[in-house]
Chain A
Amino acid sequence: MCLAVPGRILNIAEADGTLMADVDFGGVRKNVCLQYIPDATVGEYVVVHVGFAIQRLDEASARETLENFERLGLLDEEFGDGLGRAARQAGVE
Chain B
Amino acid sequence: MKYLDEFSNPELARRLLDQIHAATTRPWALMEVCGGQTHSIIRHGIDQLLPAGIEMIHGPGCPVCVTPLETIDKALAIAAQPGVVFCSFGDMLRVPGSGQDLFGVKSAGGDVRVVYSPLDALTIARENPDKQVVFFGIGFETTAPANAMTVYQARRLGVTNFSLLVSHVLVPPAIAAIMESPACRVQAFLAAGHVCSVMGTEEYPPLAAKYRVPIVVTGFEPLDILEGIRQAVLQLEAGRHELYNAYPRAVRAEGNPAATAMLRDVFEVTDRTWRGIGMIPGSGWRLAERYRDFDAERRFAVTDIHTEESPLCRSGEVLQGLIKPNECAAFGRQCTPRNPLGATMVSSEGACAAYYAYRRLDLAQIS
Binding site for B on A (CB under 8 A): 1-4, 16-18, 30, 33, 35-38, 47, 49-52, 54-55, 57-58, 61, 64-65, 67-68, 71-72, 77, 79, 82-83, 85-87, 89-92
Contact = CB atoms under 8 A, between A and B. Distances in A.
B338 A36 contact: no
Interface in B107-133: 107, 113-114, 116-120
A89 B338 contact: yes
A45 to B, nearest CB: 10
Interface of B: 8, 34-36, 43, 62-64, 89-91, 93-94, 103, 107, 113-114, 116-120, 139, 142-143, 145-146, 149, 153, 156-157, 194, 197-198, 220-221, 249-252, 256, 258-259, 262, 337-338, 346-349
B250 A49 contact: no
B114 A83 contact: yes
Contacts of B262: 36
Given A35-B258, A57-B250, A51 B89 contact: no
Contacts of A77: 348
A54 B103 contact: no
Contacts, number: 122
B154 to A, nearest CB: 11
B197 A82 contact: no
B259 to A, nearest CB: 4
Contacts of A50: 89, 116-118, 139, 143, 146
B249 A82 contact: no
A36 B252 CA distance: 14
Given A16-B157, A86-B94, A54 B35 contact: no
A52 B119 CA distance: 9
Contacts of A3: 36, 220
Closest 3 A/B residue pairs (Cβ): A82-B90, A51-B117, A1-B89
A38 B258 contact: yes
A49 B8 contact: no
Contacts of B62: 2
Contact of B143 (A16, A49, A68): A49
B250 A55 contact: yes
A77 to B, nearest CB: 6
Given A51-B118, A52-B146, A67-B8, A91 B89 contact: no
B116 A51 contact: yes
24 contacts: A2-B63, A2-B91, A2-B139, A2-B142, A4-B197, A33-B117, A35-B258, A36-B145, A36-B256, A49-B142, A49-B143, A50-B89, A50-B143, A50-B146, A51-B117, A51-B118, A54-B145, A54-B194, A54-B259, A68-B221, A77-B348, A83-B113, A86-B93, A90-B338
Most buried by A among B118, B139, B143, B156: B143
Contacts of B250: 4, 47, 55, 57, 61
